[in-house]
Amino acid sequence: MIDIHVHFFPPAVFRAIWRFFEVESKGLWPIKYKIHTEEHIARLTEYGVERFTTLVYAHKPGMAAHLNRFIAEWAAKEKRILPFGTIYAGDADRVAEARRIFEDEGFLGIKLHPFVSNEELDDSGFFPVYEMIEDLGRVVVCHPGSAPAYHSQDGVHRLRKVLERYPKLKVVIAHCGAYEYDGYPLLADEFENVYFDTAMNCIHGSTWHNNCPGPAFFQKYQDRILYGSDYPNIPYAYPQQRTALEDLKLGPEIEAKIFRGNAERLLGIVA
Q: Does 230 bind Zn ion (CB under 5 A)?
A: yes
Specify the residue, 117 or 134, whose C-beta has the smaller distance to Zn ion.
117
3-state secondary structure of 219: helix
Footprint (CB under 5 A) of Zn ion, residues 127-186: none
Nearest to 6, CA basis, from 103, 82, 107, 89 = 82
For the bound state, the minimum distance from the C-beta of residue 8 to Zn ion, rounded and expressed in Å, comes to 11
How far, in Å, are 70, 113, 119, 138, 187 from residue 85 at the CA level?
9, 12, 16, 11, 24
* Least spacing, CB of residue 55 vs Zn ion, in Å: 6
Count of residues in contact with Zn ion, rule CB under 5 A:
1
Q: Report the site for Zn ion in 77-116 (rule: CB under 5 A).
A: none
Phi, psi of 6, deg, nearest 5:
-115, 135
Q: Which stretch binds Zn ion (CB under 5 A): 36-44, 148-156, 182-190, 226-234?
A: 226-234
Instruction: Report, in Å, the least distance between residue 175 CB and Zn ion.
Output: 8
Q: What are phi and psi of 121, to 5 degrees?
A: -60, -30
Using the minimum distance from each CB to Zn ion, give the nearer residue, 13 or 254: 13
Please report, as residue ranges, which positions from 28 to 57 form the binding site for Zn ion (by CB under 5 A).
none
For residues 102 and 231, which CB has a smaller minimum distance to Zn ion in the complex?
Answer: 231
| Minimum gap (Å) between residue 230 Cβ and Zn ion | 4
Q: Which stretch binds Zn ion (CB under 5 A): 117-125, 145-153, 228-236, 244-252?
A: 228-236
H or E element that contains 85? strand 84-85
Cβ distance 189 to 167 under 8 Å? no
Element (H, E) at 84: strand 84-85
Residue closer to Zn ion, measured from CB, 5 or 51:
5
H or E segment and range at residue 265: helix 262-267
- Is the CB of 72 or the CB of 172 nearer to Zn ion? 172
Smallest gap from Cβ 148 to Zn ion, in A, equals 11
Is the CA virtual torsion 73, 108, 114, 130 positive or negative? positive
Under the rule (CB under 5 A), what is the footprint of Zn ion?
230
